[in-house]
Amino acid sequence: MLGLMMDMPLTVTSIMGHVERVHGGTGIVSVTHDQPRHRCTYADAFRRARQLASALAAFGIRNGDRVGTLAWNDYRHFELYYAISCMGAVTHTINPRLFPEQIAWIVNDARDRVLFVDPLVLPIVESVRPQLQHVETIVVLSDAAHMPAVAHAGALCYEGFIAAQPEAFSWPDLEEQTACTLCYTSGTTGNPRGVLYSHRSQVLHSLFSCAVDALALSARDVVMPVVPMFHVNAWGLAYSAPLVGAKLVFPGPKAGDGETLQNLMDTEQVTFSAGVPTVWLALLAYLRRTGKRIDSLQRVVIGGAACPWSVMEEFERDHGVHVHHAWGMTEMSPLGTVNHPIRGTETLAPDEQKARRMKQGRAMFGVEMKVVDDSGAELPWDGRSAGLLKVRGPTVCAGYFQETGPVEAHAEPGWFATGDVAHIDADGYLQITDRAKDVIKSGGEWISSIDLENAAMEHPAVAEAAVIAVPHPTWTERPLLILVLRERCALTREEMLAFLRERVAKWWLPDDVVFVTQIPHTATGKILKTKLRKLYTDYKLHDDEEGKVSGCPPGQ
Ligand code: AMP
């Protein structure tokens, strides 16, 4: 027997309609290349989205066509999100920090017909313009007065593109499984792969992620997505924040600038923000240097890479900001787990609380997880048994864009193999110990590079830490610790090793410590371990007193 409830499709258009009716007067504040502080409301943005959809329809964009964006977080990018997807086309967000050749490859693979490009990114796009096989026009996200000189003759200006268009546009009735947004994975090995979200998956992800034990967003919040809109829809915030009526504050091209972030947080009374660990280093350093405050900020969700305790501690101790660790991936829309305490844990000893807080959290509703061993057998949730993490759910990708052959990640039908190594405890808290390809295998046992990095980051002189495996004649691989020190701090290799000796098993101790001025990052701000491994392939481990620690067999 079927239920007797109305069958209304879950589409981003339905989010837009709701926001317009209920939260139309709520504001969006943006920093853009042409305006230091642009202000509009959701009603304004959706009115302009209708003009934009009219312009795209007049241009000939049809159902399923891909329209690319190379843009920062701002109101124009927000308009693009809604106009393109709700007219039935696909919003293809592209990371402007990729190499020009990677951008060209992705644009060609997606067959983007139009590209909307921020003026600051335009030189990169212009440099590969002859290689773009399907792009018919480039629209620069600017008004006429600020059009950059580098724009080629045919490039259009965004404000001119939409200006004369009607404010009325009849949004089509879309099926909820209609493709909505396309985002390519980072592709640290091989070519990037397209993850094609549906309207339904975006709506469900927004609903799941607004839950109190997830992002806990509400109409009382002022949300500043520091995580870029070109990377998995700013973790869904471009949909979830409007959905609940939160005010949005977009830092535009200034997301990496501590001064702008502090200023926006303070003047706009931001209560919630989210981003990868590295983006917070600039803000925290700025606050330390200037003594400036971020008093309105209540919560920050940090994920995308393991969040060091030092970042959590500094936010909380110095600024009263609660940090929630989260885990997810492009293929999961992206949120999988968020860390919140559960009933009865308030009385745990501080060390136990800390150990729990460092974990990546518990699964949101809609995300099912399991950890399996090499033979595929499921491992118990005991907080120890580590194996390959698999997930499934309505916001998890079932296949990659335009890939028809078997996908390794889907080797077990109905499950997506994340490529992460993890364990889950009896309360359901997930702990990622490594990316499968980053695991250090020493004497047949795994050493967690993330645990070692976290331990090193606890030292007050350390700004950033990365651990990679280097080949070793006896133990196959041994860990090498690479450190960036904080400004005006000094630390020796021996001091670091002594510090770690108190914190990790003896056989985990890195065989060497290297000090560098910077660690390479991916275009989404994660440590680029492939590059580090390449840089240190021929690294000769020390053979002195500390180096001999590598002769220590696993388990001792
Ligand atoms: P991406 O698809 O580029 O967002 O990358 C997803 C990958 O980032 C995951 O599979 C993990 O390896 C890693 N990741 C995301 N969040 C965390 C976290 N909180 N701790 C450790 N690794 C993470």
DSSP 320-343: -PEEEEEEE-GGGSSEEEE----T
Q: Which one-letter DSSP state was computed for residue 134?
A: S
For residue 439, the model assigns a pLDDT of: 83
Distance (Å) from CA 430 to ligand 1 centroid: 12
For residue 213, the model assigns a pLDDT of: 97
Alpha-carbon distance of 492 to 483, in angstroms, equals: 11
Which atom of ligand 1 is closest in space to residue 524's alpha carbon? 3
Contact 306 CB / ligand 1 (< 6 Å): yes
For residue 154, the model assigns a pLDDT of: 81
Query: Which strand ranges, in their side-by-side order, compose the sheet holding 66-70?
Result: 156-157, 137-140, 114-117, 66-70, 90-93, 179-184, 194-198
Alpha-carbon distance of 315 to 277, in angstroms, equals: 12
For the chain, what is the total number of helices (H) and then of strands (E)?
A: 16, 25
Contact 420 CB / ligand 1 (< 6 Å): yes
Residue nearest to atom 20 of ligand 1 (CA): 306
248, 226 contact by CB (below 8 A)? no
Contact 186 CB / ligand 1 (< 6 Å): yes
Contact 305 CB / ligand 1 (< 6 Å): yes
What letters, b where the CB count within 10 A reaches 16 and e where it falls short, cover 402-433? eeeeeeebbeeeebbbbbbbbbbbeeebbbbb
Tokens of 202: 């975006």
For residue 446, the model assigns a pLDDT of: 83
Distance (Å) from CA 303 to ligand 1 centroid: 7
Nearby residues of 535 by Cβ (< 8 Å), 6 or more positions away: none
Contact 304 CB / ligand 1 (< 6 Å): yes
Alpha-carbon distance of 389 to 417, in angstroms, equals: 6
Residue nearest to atom 1 of ligand 1 (CA): 329
Alpha-carbon distance of 94 to 98, in angstroms, equals: 9
Which atom of ligand 1 is closest in space to residue 303's alpha carbon? 19
* pTM score, whole prediction: 0.89
For residue 284, the model assigns a pLDDT of: 95
Contact 432 CB / ligand 1 (< 6 Å): yes
Please return the burial class of 331, using the count of CB atoms within 10 Å of its CB with bins 0-12, 13-18 and 19+. buried
Catalytic residues: 185, 331, 441, 446
For residue 175, the model assigns a pLDDT of: 98
Distance (Å) from CA 25 to ligand 1 centroid: 36
For residue 540, the model assigns a pLDDT of: 79
Contact 336 CB / ligand 1 (< 6 Å): no
Report the sign of the C-alpha dihedral through residues 267, 268, 272, 277, in that order.
negative
For residue 552, the model assigns a pLDDT of: 38
Q: Are strands 335-338 and 362-363 parallel, antiparallel or unpaired?
A: antiparallel
Distance (Å) from CA 9 to ligand 1 centroid: 31
Residues forming CATH 3.40.50.12780 domain(s) in the chain: 12-419
Task: Name the one residue in this structure whose structure tokens are 């900001």.
Answer: 321
Contact 334 CB / ligand 1 (< 6 Å): yes
Contact 409 CB / ligand 1 (< 6 Å): no
CATH code of the region 12-419: 3.40.50.12780
The strand ranges marked E within 286-415 are: 299-302, 322-328, 335-338, 362-363, 368-372, 387-392
Mean pLDDT by 10 residues, the chain (556 residues): 96 98 98 94 98 98 98 98 98 93 96 97 94 97 90 86 97 98 79 94 98 98 97 96 98 95 98 93 93 98 92 96 97 98 94 95 98 96 96 96 82 94 97 88 84 93 94 87 94 96 91 95 85 87 48 38
Topology of domain 440-550, CATH: GMP Synthetase; Chain A, domain 3 (3.30.300)
Alpha-carbon distance of 386 to 546, in angstroms, equals: 29
What distances in angstroms separate CA 189 from CA 186, 343, 409, 523, one per listed residue? 9, 42, 14, 14
Residue nearest to atom 23 of ligand 1 (CA): 305
What distances in angstroms separate CA 347 from CA 324, 339, 344, 350, one per listed residue? 19, 17, 7, 9
Tokens of 155: 């490039």
Distance (Å) from CA 488 to ligand 1 centroid: 31
Closest of 283, 280, 321, 275 to residue 301, by C-alpha = 275
For residue 555, the model assigns a pLDDT of: 38
Residues forming CATH 3.30.300.30 domain(s) in the chain: 440-550
For residue 547, the model assigns a pLDDT of: 39
For residue 542, the model assigns a pLDDT of: 61
What distances in angstroms separate CA 534 from CA 171, 334, 448, one per listed residue? 50, 29, 20
Distance (Å) from CA 467 to ligand 1 centroid: 16
Of 230, 327, 391, which is best to mutate to test ligand 1, by the most ligand atoms within 8 angstroms of its C-beta? 327
For residue 132, the model assigns a pLDDT of: 97
For residue 553, the model assigns a pLDDT of: 37
Peptide bond into 172 cis (omega under 30): no
Secondary structure element (H or E) that encloses residue 307, with its range: none
